[in-house]
């Protein structure tokens, strides 16, 4: 019931159902929040009556009464949306305290200091969250009092001092709001509920949702729960723990606790907590009980859990559990090991890993051979290595990041207000806070390297520097961090490619067992082809032959070919290129032996191979003015004339794709000959080759008919000349809406289709793929006119509908038509799922995204429900 109760509420209910010690409470549903917004930010009628009715049930269970003078019930009020948004929404603790109940708490616990401390925390949180008085104003008053009393830490404040803090807080509230701090617990509760509803639309929540692609109309639930106290002495405490290590995935309880503290001390990173294993020595019974519950929760939810607990006077309470955030490395190991332990099936394991996270595993690490100037060590909060200029402020990190600078954000601790700085930084370094502090959780979720709790570094925000012993590092200096070990290193560091774990290899082999889609790579060189095979590609879906024309040894011949005035001259230039292209295809076909290789005939407009018009204008003017080299001037003028004649207003819609093959047939003939010569040679050498000759940018069946005839003729002639036989296929790229509409006709002359969704997106939207993202597209995304960038995630409604049409029409003519995708979307999980849904045979993407595509394809197949039983 996550949608209705929010993640936290649903989990609390679930934990109560399985008999865990959860403090009694109630949940106001997300539906009430949606209604609150529908009514124009007004609580729905009858809501508070219902809250009151339920509160009596909570009172009964807790054995305390809300607002009671002898045994008062205090509650926490927390937000809880359907998707976890750590640290993004507001929480109020100790609600129900006022001048009278605070005395009863003092009497009942025999601890006036605790009662006053709870009260001042409550006023501060309520003041911040509900009354919207900046938190630092309360902090200033607290610090003043510490100074007055001459102490350093909050815990050292005497009850008398705390009383003064409370009075000063109340004065602040009166001066800021024009009225006294609310004394009536029921009024406090009503105001708190409204504040939680409001917090759904605060800035940090909106940024977090945008970043994590969470819908804005889901609303949050409100959890009202009786308070338990971890700060009631040395037999009390609070902590958070993961059931497995969230950094490495190792199957050991991983967490931290603080004795005599409230939960927010841990989460906010104000005090650095101690490893959970030490709880075993301090409170052995509590530890054993916690381990039992942790195991129970993990096997119940079939996922690694992130659990918050509190011990109140020797009694353990579970406050919260949720699926724990983890690094990519941990995610893979946990999924694999849980399946091996028999806790989940292989398919469930595959669904546990977020495909886009796999990317991180392929990221670079610090070279272990490198000489490093390690200046400090903190907690290894999120793996990967990062180097950047030190900055101390999130706004500055964002500003420099936008200018293309690499920065490392250094803070004592981060808060949700720093999120834009974390996004912009290469990595994050904090001096305080544990593995569950804000910086650690957020960085891990983003896959950013992070070292936290590095107490050796002393940060001076005013001087904009930090020091470690006598070493001072100023803003702008280069520092590196290693999020896997916690090392902080002076200067930039050499990095190396990562190593792949056995769990990763095994998990991806399970993915291969269940997926239907084939996974190919886009590769233009034998090296890339090899890399793609290592990552698990079983074919090449796109060889862009123009990349081969750009080599220094090729370009002069390509230019001569373009400049040729006669067919004879052009053929001469092409005859230089033929053996080079043959060599290229030989290398790639050999590297992909046994797998299909789709080779696209020349696609880009020819002017791309010539110098730019501007460049030539400057050069010829200079040569003219100086009169230095008349021969060179002559040559440049000839080039200029040609460039002018090739100039187009919209080259992307111009003389490119197979239009080149129509107007310069000899170029395509050279390429086709090169492909088949290479295939013939390899066949003679005993290799099995599967070349697929691909015609780009077709719009009509007559184009395809023409090329199919040529390709078949050259294949036949080549095979006859050397007396070998090899398999080959002929097909087209589907990159234009018209091609989708007439796909049934195109299929008559095609063995395969491959969707070039970069161009298909460009031409369906009429958005230039070169300009849109730098110009207006960001505004479309910010203002939510478009939900996603269509050049990244397939636009199912438009581009997707064209694809669906092309698949259906193409297969109507030729049921065995092989269909793939080779646009950038081929490595994006959501788009891969779409390709599965419309029945493509394969996706093709850059080699580094092959693992993502393999897992995404498996998940699509599993979600489709087509796989029966477990394998």
Query: Of the two residues 8 and 825, which places its CB atom closer to ligand PEP in the complex?
Result: 825
| Contacted entry of ligand PEP, Mg ion, none for residue 278, CB cut-off 5 to 8 Å set by kind | none
What's the Cα-to-Cα distance from 827 to each of 41, 603, 632, rounded to whole Å?
Answer: 42, 22, 47
**Cβ 769 to Mg ion shortest distance, Å:** 9
Least distance between ligand PEP and beta carbon 757 (Å) = 5
Q: Environment class of residue 852 by beta-carbon count within 10 Å: exposed (0-12), middle (13-18) or buried (19+)? A: buried
Identify the bridge partners of residue 237 per DSSP, sorted by sequence position: 259, 311
Binding residue for ligand PEP, selected from 353, 822, 838, 845, defined by CB under 6 A = 822
- Nearer Cβ to ligand PEP, position 441 or 693? 693
Based on the residue annotation, tell me whether 822 is a catalytic residue of this protein.
Answer: yes
Q: Which does 544 bind (CB under 5 to 8 A by kind): ligand PEP, Mg ion, none?
A: ligand PEP
Q: What x/- string results for residues 697 through 736 when contact with Mg ion is judged by CB under 5 A?
A: --------------------------------------x-
The helix/strand/coil state of 382 is strand
Between residue 516 and residue 575, which ones bind Mg ion under the rule CB under 5 A? none
Q: CB 656 → Mg ion: shortest distance, Å?
A: 9
Rounded to whole angstroms, what are the CA distances from 169 to 145, 164, 283, 386, 432? 11, 9, 36, 43, 27
Of 420, 438, 825, 836, the active-site residue reads 438
Q: What is the per-residue binding string for ligand PEP in 702-741, x denoting contact by CB under 6 A?
A: ---------------------------------x------
> Can you say whether the dihedral through the CA atoms of 799, 801, 807, 809 is positive or negative?
negative
Which one of 605, 823, 829, 847 is in contact with ligand PEP (CB under 6 A)? Answer: 823
- Give the nearest distance from C-beta 757 to Mg ion in angstroms: 9
Element (H, E) at 472: strand 471-474
CB within 8 Å of 97: residues ≥ 6 apart? 72, 74, 105, 118, 119, 122
Least separation in angstroms between residue 823's CB and ligand PEP is 3
Closest CA to 780 of 770, 792, 772: 772
**Tokens of residue 173, six digits:** 């509230």
C-alpha radius of gyration, the chain, whole number: 33
**Binder among 398, 745, 759, 824 for Mg ion (CB under 5 A):** 759
User: Which is closer to ligand PEP, CB of 273 or CB of 604?
Assistant: 604
Q: Which does 823 bind (CB under 5 to 8 A by kind): Mg ion, ligand PEP, none?
A: ligand PEP
For the chain, the first-to-last Cα distance in angstroms comes to 30
Cα–Cα distances in Å, from 35 out to 22, 217, 733?
A: 29, 11, 50
Considering only the stretches 47-55, 310-318, 757-765, 787-795, report the one whose residues sit in contact with ligand PEP under the rule CB under 6 A: 757-765
**Two tokens, residue 219:** 């609303």
**590-629 binders of ligand PEP (CB under 6 A):** 603
Closer to ligand PEP by Cβ: residue 37 or 848: 848
Residue 438 bears catalytic tag: yes
Q: How far is CA 182 from CA 141, 185, 505, in A?
A: 20, 8, 60
Bridge partners of 522, per DSSP, are: 542
Of residues 477-536, which lie at the interface with ligand PEP (CB under 6 A)? none
Q: Which of 308, 759, 818, 828 binds ligand PEP (CB under 6 A)?
A: 759
Within 8 A by CB and 6+ apart from 609, the residues are: 549, 550, 555, 558, 559, 562
758 vs 830, beta carbon nearer ligand PEP: 758
> Which part of the chain contacts ligand PEP (CB under 6 A), choosing from 196-204, 461-469, 607-615, 756-764?
756-764
In the DSSP assignment, the letter for residue 800 is I
Q: Which of 758, 768, 813, 863 binds ligand PEP (CB under 6 A)?
A: 758
Contact of residue 692 among Mg ion, ligand PEP, none (CB under 5-8 Å per partner type)? none
Name the pairing type of β-strands 237-242 and 254-259.
antiparallel
With CB under 5 to 8 Å by kind, the binding choice for 475 among Mg ion, ligand PEP, none is none
Cβ proximity to ligand PEP, 163 vs 544, nearer residue:
544
Place of tokens 């043959």: 582
Q: Which of 192, 212, 213, 226 is nearest to 55 (CA)?
A: 226
Q: How far apart are CA 500 and CA 535, in angstroms?
A: 10
How far apart (Å, rounded) are the C-alpha atoms in residues 423 and 445? 11
Smaller CB distance to ligand PEP: residue 251 or 758?
758
Q: Which is nearer to Mg ion, 794 or 861 (CB)?
A: 794
SS3 for 657?
coil
Choose the catalytic residue: 452, 822, 835, 845. 822
Which of 251, 140, 128 has its CA nearest to residue 191?
Answer: 128
Asked if 472 and 489 touch (Cβ cutoff 8 Å), the reply is no
Q: Residue 317 or residue 752: which is nearer to ligand PEP going by CB?
A: 752
Residue 590 interaction partner, one of Mg ion, ligand PEP, none, beta carbon < 5-8 Å per kind: none
Selected binder of ligand PEP within 146, 176, 300, 544 (CB under 6 A): 544
Would you say how long the chain is, in residues? 871
Burial class of residue 333, CB neighbours in 10 A (0-12, 13-18, 19+): buried
Question: Considering CB distances under 5 to 8 angstroms, the limit depending on partner class, which of ligand PEP, Mg ion, none binds residue 757?
Answer: ligand PEP
The one of ligand PEP, Mg ion, none whose footprint includes residue 421, by CB under 5 to 8 A per kind, is: none
Q: How far is the CB of 782 from ligand PEP (least distance, A)?
A: 26
Going by C-beta distance under 8 Å and a sequence separation of 6 or more, which residues neighbour residue 708? Answer: 730, 749, 750
**Which residue of 542, 563, 742, 853 would you call a contact of ligand PEP, by CB under 6 A?**
542
Nearer to ligand PEP, 482 or 603 (CB): 603
- Binds 822, which of ligand PEP, Mg ion, none (CB < 5 to 8 A, cut-off by type)? ligand PEP
Return the H-helix or E-strand segment holding 844: strand 842-845
Helix %, strand %, coil % of the chain (to 5): 50, 15, 35
Those residues whose C-beta lies under 8 Å from the C-beta of residue 868, and which sit 6 or more positions away, are none
Q: Which residue, 189 or 822, has its beta carbon nearer to ligand PEP?
A: 822
Cα 833 from chain centroid? 17
* Closest C-alpha to 449, from 366, 373, 358: 366
Alpha-carbon span 478 to 489, nearest angstrom? 9
- CA count, 13 A, side-chain hemisphere, 387: 13
Residue 757, interface with ligand PEP (CB under 6 A)? yes
Among Mg ion, ligand PEP, none, the one that 465 touches (CB under a kind-dependent 5 to 8 A) is: none
Q: In angstroms, what is the minimal distance from the CB of 824 to Mg ion?
A: 10
Among residues 605, 756, 790, 826, which is the contact residue for Mg ion, using CB under 5 A? 756
Structure tokens at 312: 């109140």
Q: How far is the CB of 749 from ligand PEP (least distance, A)?
A: 20
Identity of the residue, 30 or 545, whose beta carbon is nearer to ligand PEP in the bound complex:
545
The answer to the question of residue 829 lying near Mg ion (CB under 5 A) is no
Q: Is 447 in the site for ligand PEP (CB under 6 A)?
A: no
Q: Which part of the chain contacts ligand PEP (CB under 6 A), choosing from 447-455, 572-580, 719-727, 752-760?
A: 752-760
The site partner of 154 among ligand PEP, Mg ion, none (C-beta below 5 to 8 Å per kind) is: none
Distance CA 637, CA 832 (A): 49
308 binds, among Mg ion, ligand PEP, none (CB under 5 to 8 A by kind): none
Phi (first) and psi of residue 85, to 5 degrees: -130, 75
Min. distance of Cβ 756 from Mg ion in angstroms?
4
Residues touching ligand PEP, count (CB under 6 A): 10
Known catalytic residues are: 438, 822
- Which parts of this chain interact with ligand PEP (CB under 6 A)? 542, 544, 603, 735, 756-759, 822-823
- Which parts of this chain interact with Mg ion (CB under 5 A)? 735, 756, 759
């Amino acid at each position: 019931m996550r949608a209705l109760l929010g993640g936290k509420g649903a989990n609390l209910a679930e934990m109560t159902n399985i008999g865990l010690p959860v403090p009694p409470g109630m949940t106001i549903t997300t539906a009430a929040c949606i209604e609150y917004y529908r009514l124009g930010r007004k609580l729905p009628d009858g809501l508070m009556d219902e809250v009151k009715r339920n509160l009596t049930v909570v009172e009964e269970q807790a054995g305390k009464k809300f607002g009671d003078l002898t045994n008062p019930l205090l509650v926490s009020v927390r937000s809880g949306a359907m998707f976890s948004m750590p640290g993004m929404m507001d929480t109020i603790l100790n609600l129900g305290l006022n001048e009278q109940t605070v005395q009863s708490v003092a009497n009942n616990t025999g601890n006036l200091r605790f009662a006053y401390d709870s009260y001042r925390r409550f006023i501060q949180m309520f003041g911040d969250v509900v009354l919207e008085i900046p938190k630092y104003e309360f902090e200033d008053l607290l610090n003043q009092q510490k100074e007055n009393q001459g102490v350093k830490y909050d815990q050292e404040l005497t009850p008398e001092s705390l009383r003064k803090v409370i009075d000063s807080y109340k004065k602040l509230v009166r001066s800021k709001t024009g009225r006294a701090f609310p004394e009536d617990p029921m009024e406090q509760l009503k105001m708190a509920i409204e504040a939680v509803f409001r917090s759904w639309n605060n800035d940090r929540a909106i940024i977090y949702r945008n970043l994590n692609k969470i819908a804005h109309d889901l609303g949050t639930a409100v959890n009202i729960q009786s308070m338990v106290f971890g700060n009631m002495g040395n037999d009390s405490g609070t902590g958070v723990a993961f059931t497995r290590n969230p950094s490495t995935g190792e199957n050991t309880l991983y967490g931290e606790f603080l004795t005599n503290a409230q939960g927010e001390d841990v989460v906010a990173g104000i005090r650095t907590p101690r490893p959970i294993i030490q709880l075993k020595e301090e409170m052995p019974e509590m530890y054993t009980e916690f381990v039992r519950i942790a195991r129970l929760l993990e096997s119940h939810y079939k996922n690694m859990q992130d659990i918050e607990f509190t011990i109140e006077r020797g009694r353990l309470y579970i406050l919260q559990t949720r699926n724990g955030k983890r690094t990519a490395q941990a995610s893979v190991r946990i999924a694999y090991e849980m399946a091996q332990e028999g806790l989940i099936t292989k398919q469930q394991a595959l669904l546990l890993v977020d495909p886009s996270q796999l990317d991180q595993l392929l990221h670079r690490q610090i070279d272990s051979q490198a000489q490093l100037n390690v200046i400090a060590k903190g907690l290894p909060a999120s793996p990967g290595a990062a180097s950047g200029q030190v900055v101390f402020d999130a706004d500055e990190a964002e500003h420099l990041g936008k200018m293309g600078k690499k920065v490392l954000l250094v803070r004592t601790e981060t808060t949700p207000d720093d999120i834009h700085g974390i996004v912009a930084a290469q990595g994050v370094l904090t001096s305080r806070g544990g593995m569950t502090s804000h910086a650690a959780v957020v960085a891990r979720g983003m896959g950013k390297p992070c070292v936290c709790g590095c107490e050796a570094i002393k940060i001076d925000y005013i001087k904009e520097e930090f020091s470690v012993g006598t070493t001072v590092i100023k803003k702008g200096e280069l520092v590196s961090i290693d999020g896997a070990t916690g090392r902080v290193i002076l200067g930039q560091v050499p990095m190396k490619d990562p190593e792949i774990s056995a769990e990763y290899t095994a998990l991806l082999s399970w993915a291969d067992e269940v997926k239907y889609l084939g996974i190919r790579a886009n590769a233009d060189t034998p090296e890339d082809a090899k890399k793609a095979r290592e990552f698990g590609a079983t074919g090449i879906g796109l060889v862009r032959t123009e990349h081969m024309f750009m080599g220094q040894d090729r370009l002069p011949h390509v230019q001569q070919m373009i400049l040729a005035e006669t067919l004879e001259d052009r053929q001469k230039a092409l005859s230089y290129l033929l053996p080079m292209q043959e060599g290229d295809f030989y290398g790639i076909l050999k590297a992909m032996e046994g797998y299909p290789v789709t080779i696209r005939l020349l696609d880009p407009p020819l002017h791309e191979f010539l110098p730019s018009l501007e460049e030539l204008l400057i050069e010829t003017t200079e040569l003219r003015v100086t009169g230095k080299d008349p021969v060179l001037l002559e040559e440049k003028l000839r080039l200029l004339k040609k460039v002018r004649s090739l100039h187009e207003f919209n080259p992307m819609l111009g003389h490119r794709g197979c239009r080149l093959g129509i107007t310069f047939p000899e170029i395509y003939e050279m390429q086709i000959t090169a492909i088949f010569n290479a295939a013939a040679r390899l066949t003679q050498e005993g290799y099995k080759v599967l070349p697929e000759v691909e015609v780009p940018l077709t719009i009509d069946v007559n184009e395809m008919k023409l090329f199919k005839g040529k390709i078949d003729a050259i294949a036949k002639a080549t095979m006859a000349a050397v007396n070998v036989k090899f398999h080959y296929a002929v097909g087209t790229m589907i990159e234009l809406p018209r091609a989708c509409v007439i796909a049934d006709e195109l299929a008559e002359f095609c063995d395969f289709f491959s969707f070039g969704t970069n161009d298909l997106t460009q031409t369906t939207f009429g958005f230039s793929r070169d300009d849109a993202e730098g110009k207006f597209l960001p505004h479309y995304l910010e203002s939510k006119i478009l939900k996603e960038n269509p050049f990244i995630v397939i636009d199912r409604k438009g581009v997707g509908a064209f694809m669906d049409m092309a698949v259906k029409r193409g297969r109507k003519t030729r049921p065995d038509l092989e269909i793939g995708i080779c646009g950038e979307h081929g490595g994006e999980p959501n788009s891969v799922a779409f390709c599965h849904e419309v029945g493509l045979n394969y996706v093709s993407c850059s080699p580094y995204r092959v693992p993502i595509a393999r897992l995404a394809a498996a998940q699509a197949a599993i979600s489709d429900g087509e796989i029966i039983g477990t394998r």
